[in-house]
Amino acid sequence: MRAPFPWFGSKRKVADIVWQHLGDVDNYIEPFAGSMAVLLERPNHHKKRQETVNDIDAYVSNFWRALKADPEQVARYASDPINENDLNARHLWLVSTGKERIENINIDPDYYDAKVAGWWVWGLCVWIGSGWCDKAYRQRPHLSGGQGINRQLPHLGPRRGINRQRPDISDRGQGILMYMEQLAARLESVAVCSGDWKRVCTDGATDHGSTVGVFLDPPYYREGRKAVYNHETDVFDDVLAWCRDHEDNPRYKIAVCGYNFTLPGWKAHNWSAGPAYQSSNGGGNNAENRHKEVIYFSPSCVSRNIDMFEVTKGS
């Protein structure tokens, strides 16, 4: 399944490679959830015993939590046609009133706001470039075909900002509701957390199950690219340190993403992000970074069958 919104840095293209290395783990944790591309691509035959996702961005976590609990309400707020006045008004509302309404998401594991979730995902799909729910400024909507959000594969066109999705809904919400309900069913047993990534990577959080799969996709180093996340942090080194601390534990099967870094003793998978990376990351020299993507897999991921899944660089 796919998230109903575009997302910079999605790892959907290599999700199958990730699962080939992690296997059917008892406990799966995704500390930097975003669009949850890897979780949503988990093979259907996996038992999915325990799954936890987290994101420091409260708008992101609120969307997934609200979708899980009340897909009908989220779909209702997300089904409106494109309107520039609505776009700017909702943006201003979301960064003020909406932000206040979801403050409890960090302290109440059951809290969500369907209105904030629906308007957030609607705007994310029609906003041009970065900055949605980041700071209060006016913006023109993306007017390239259709209305509302797209429940299908995002259309990635040239010069459309961050993974620009071309809205295309003709059934005025029915298709959106059906897809939201399918996503909600998939997330029924998934714990959705919001806050610092380390909170879901403690010994207590990873205690369940004989095997623990951790997929780490932190914000990359800022050097050489625009800031594209609402919450830019310098956690990359902390993530690598956590990986080193747990690399010898056979229970942990860890995948960590980045570019131009090394983890000696870990298995590297080099790959290239999609062409949309160029326009979303500012073009020029920054566009070259899409060919520097690498995922490192911890030693416990390497099994006797792993050579079957070896993928050549740049595939």
Strand, helix or coil at 141? strand
Could you give phi then psi for residue 64, rounded to 5 degrees? -65, -35
Q: Where are the beta strands (DSSP E) in the chain?
A: 27-30, 50-55, 190-194, 212-216, 252-259, 267-271, 293-297
Task: Extract the residue ranges of the chain whose pLDDT is less than 50.
Answer: 145-147, 149-172, 223-230, 232, 277-285, 304-315
Domain ranges of the chain: 1-56+195-315, 57-188
Strand, helix or coil at 143? coil
Q: By the 8 A CB rule, do 1 and 184 touch?
A: no
Cα–Cα distance measured from residue 32 to residue 144, given in angstroms and rounded to the nearest whole number: 30
pLDDT attached to residue 95: 94
pLDDT attached to residue 141: 61
Cα–Cα distance measured from residue 290 to residue 32, given in angstroms and rounded to the nearest whole number: 19
pLDDT attached to residue 139: 56
- Helix, strand, coil tally for the chain in percent (to 5): 35, 15, 50
CATH class, domain 1-56+195-315, is alpha beta
Cα–Cα distance measured from residue 184 to residue 64, given in angstroms and rounded to the nearest whole number: 8
pLDDT attached to residue 152: 29
Structure confidence by residue, pLDDT tens digits, 74-113: 999 998 888 888 998 999 999 999 999 999 998 999 999 9
The torsion region of residue 53 among left (phi > 0), alpha (psi -120 to 50) and beta comes to: beta
- Supply the DSSP symbol for 127: B
Number of continuous H segments (helices) and E segments (strands) in the chain: 10, 7
- Calculate helix-pair angle for 174-186, 71-78, nearest 10 degrees: 140
Structure confidence by residue, pLDDT tens digits, 274-299: 765 444 444 444 566 777 899 999 99
pLDDT attached to residue 296: 97
Q: By the 8 A CB rule, do 121 and 5 touch?
A: yes
One-letter amino acid for residue 4 of the chain: P
